[in-house]
């Protein structure tokens, strides 16, 4: 395996992760009881769809067809979110669990995109790096939006 292969596999992996999220986020939005949290999930969905498009530009830059490689990490994170939805929790407890699941997803995305940007810059693929940036600053914005500050504990 070459470094180019490693970079391509990383792009294929996050491409699959983002596609998994486009299916999971509507379910999380529907399950959220807080209107603000529902709106945050809906915003995240729109941004995720944009990330899929930007990743397709990375594939073009590499001269490759857009192809996903199963992302086991995101599969597990999505399953955790679904388990929360299926848990029978309601109200603030459900929202807190959904926020926790969303934060895990965000940290995975931040780590992966940061790694891919570094690899692109240092492996002769610098022209592929710009689409790997989040132009709206969405990753850090979503981390703030998914903080549990407004959740009240029910006794």
Q: What is the 3-state secondary structure (H, E, C) of the chain?
A: CCHHHHHHHHHHHHHHHHHHHHHHHHHHHHHCCCHHHHHHHHHHHHHHHHHHHHHHHHHHHHCCCCCCCCCHHHHHHHHHHHHHHHCCCCHHHHHHHHHHHHHHHHHHHHHHHHHHHHHHHHCCCHHHCHHHCCCCCHHHHHHHHCCHHHCCCCC
Q: Two tokens at 147?
A: 């903080």
How confident is the model at residue 73, as a pLDDT?
97
- Sorted by where each starts, the structural domains of the chain and their CATH numbers stand as 3-147 (1.20.1260.10)
pLDDT of residue 106: 94
> Taking the model in full, what pTM does it have?
0.86
Q: ∠ CA(40), CA(130), CA(7), 5° rounding? A: 95
pLDDT at 11: 97
pLDDT tens per residue, the chain (155 residues)? 998 999 999 999 999 999 999 999 999 999 999 999 999 999 999 999 999 999 999 999 999 999 999 999 999 999 999 999 999 999 999 999 999 999 999 999 999 999 999 999 888 889 999 999 875 554 444 444 444 444 444 43
pLDDT of residue 152: 45
Give the Å distances, CA to CA, from 48 to 62, 94, 134: 21, 23, 10
């Amino acid at each position: 395996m070459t470094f180019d292969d490693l970079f391509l596999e990383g792009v294929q992996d996050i491409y699959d992760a983002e596609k998994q999220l486009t299916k999971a986020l509507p379910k999380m939005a529907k399950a959220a009881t807080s209107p603000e949290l529902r709106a945050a999930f809906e915003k995240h969905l729109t941004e995720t769809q944009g990330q899929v498009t930007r990743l397709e530009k990375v594939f073009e830059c590499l001269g490759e067809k857009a192809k996903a490689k199963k992302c086991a990490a995101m599969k597990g994170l999505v399953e955790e979110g679904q388990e929360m939805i299926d848990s029978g929790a309601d109200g603030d407890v459900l929202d807190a669990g959904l926020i926790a699941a969303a934060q895990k997803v965000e940290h995975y995305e931040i780590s992966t995109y940061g790694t891919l940007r570094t690899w692109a810059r240092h492996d002769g693929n610098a022209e592929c790096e710009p689409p790997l940036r989040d132009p709206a600053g969405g990753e850090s914005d979503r981390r703030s939006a998914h903080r549990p500050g407004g959740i009240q504990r029910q006794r």
